[in-house]
Amino acid sequence: MDGLRVLSLPEAEVPRELKLQVAELQESAWPSGPAGPGPTADPVHDPALRPRSLLLLSGDRVLAALDLLSKDLDHAGHRYAASGLSAVVTDPALRGRGHGRRLVAAARTAVGESGADLGLFTCDRGLLAFYESAGWAELPGAVLVGGTAEEPFPSDREGFDKVVVAAFFTERARRRRTDFPHRRIALHPGLVDRLW
């Protein structure tokens, strides 16, 4: 036992002190710039995506954090309950110690236990091995289309070098896993979380 624990809560219910720590980690990874809001304890995700935060804690200190977002996905003639990871970050002072992998693996378990058919998200190509080491698998050639039908935001847009990773949980999703590689997958999570 190393005294670390994973806390899982709806984003809106994360205690303010923890949420501020998460916001600071996110701001360090994805600076909002001088005109940006800076770290705030306010929720950042679209509530329609039922955001849930997973925090790796040592006492009251946040070592690593991520958010799970969920929606229905219509793909190749079937509807799936899909969840994805967003804003995965480890405290810069504590990277390379396995905290990120541990949390990303816990997220995979959490998505499976939630009853979702599949987990599905994009990551930078350079991080694929990191996600694979936590149990996720590449969907070769797949493109995740974020945004909306009117304002699509695809993962293969100019300047991006992203891959789609997934895990199939339910029997019905496993049966149709071949519907996903080398396909455009219209996730359309909206304009707040344009690509999760």
Ligand X SMILES: CC(C)(COP(=O)(O)OP(=O)(O)OC[C@H]1O[C@@H](n2cnc3c(N)ncnc32)[C@H](O)[C@@H]1OP(=O)(O)O)[C@@H](O)C(=O)NCCC(=O)NCCS
134/145 with CB nearer ligand X: 134
Q: What is the CA radius of gyration of the chain?
A: 16
Q: Is residue 192 close enough to count as binding ligand X by CB under 6 A? A: no
54/89 with CB nearer ligand X: 89
Nearest distance in Å: CB 31, ligand X:
12
Q: Is 150 exposed, middle or buried (CB count within 10 Å of its CB: 0-12, 13-18, 19+)? A: exposed
Q: Bridge partners of 164?
A: 122
Single-letter amino acid code for the residue at 10: P
What tokens does 19 get?
């949420």
Q: What is the layout of strands, in order, in the sheet containing 61-75?
A: 4-10, 52-58, 61-75, 78-90, 118-124, 162-168, 137-138
Interacting span for ligand X (CB under 6 A) from 16-24, 86-94, 107-115, 143-151: 86-94
Residue nearest to ligand X (CB): 100
CA-to-CA distance for 184 and 32, rounded, in angstroms? 30
CA-to-CA distance for 193 and 196, rounded, in angstroms? 6
Nearest distance in Å: CB 10, ligand X:
21
**Which residue of 42, 72, 124, 151 would you call a contact of ligand X, by CB under 6 A?**
124
Q: Is residue 100 close enough to count as binding ligand X by CB under 6 A? A: yes
Binding to ligand X, residues 151-190 (CB under 6 A): none
Binding to ligand X, residues 19-48 (CB under 6 A): 29
Interacting span for ligand X (CB under 6 A) from 112-120, 125-133, 170-178, 182-190: 125-133
Q: Is residue 125 close enough to count as binding ligand X by CB under 6 A? A: no
Nearest distance in Å: CB 121, ligand X:
8
Instruction: Tell me the DSSP string of 3-18.
Output: SEEEEEEEGGGS-HHH
Q: Is residue 98 close enough to count as binding ligand X by CB under 6 A? A: yes
Q: Is residue 130 close enough to count as binding ligand X by CB under 6 A? A: yes
CA-to-CA distance for 97 and 87, rounded, in angstroms? 19
Binding residues (CB under 6 A) for ligand X: these are 29, 64, 88-90, 95-101, 123-124, 126-127, 130, 133
